[in-house]
Amino acid sequence: MAIEKNIASASIAEVVDRILDKGIVIDAFIRISLVGIELIAIEIRAVVSSVETWLKYAEAVGLTVDPATA
C-alpha cells in the first residue's frame, strides 16, 4: 500500500469566499512615545465580511436598531 501525500491548496476564490462567509477582524493599536511623552497613537479596526454575515453578528451583539422601534 502506497502512502500518498496530499497538499491542501485553495484557490483565491475559495479563500475570498471563506473570508466573506465567516468574516475577519483586523485590530491594531500603535503608540509611539519618547521619554514617556506620547507622540503618535493610531488605532485601526477593520472588519471584512459579507453584509449578510455582518448583520447576523451585529444583531447578536445588539449593534443593529430596528427602525420601527426607534
Domain count across the chain: 1
Largest Cα–Cα separation, the chain:
67
Q: Is 23 left (phi over 0), alpha (psi -120 to 50) or beta?
A: left
Determine, yes or no, domain membership for 19: no
Determine, yes or no, domain membership for 36: yes
Determine, yes or no, domain membership for 28: yes
Structural domain that includes position 28: 24-65
What are the grid coordinates assigned to 5, written together?
501525500
pTM for the model: 0.46
Cα separations in angstroms, 2 against 5, 7, 30: 10, 16, 52
Q: Give 58's contacts (C-beta < 8 A, 6+ positions apart).
A: 64
Determine, yes or no, domain membership for 31: yes
User: How does pLDDT run across 1-48, given as a tens digit for each residue?
Assistant: 566 655 666 788 888 888 888 888 888 989 999 998 999 999 988 888
Determine, yes or no, domain membership for 3: no
Determine, yes or no, domain membership for 41: yes
Determine, yes or no, domain membership for 11: no
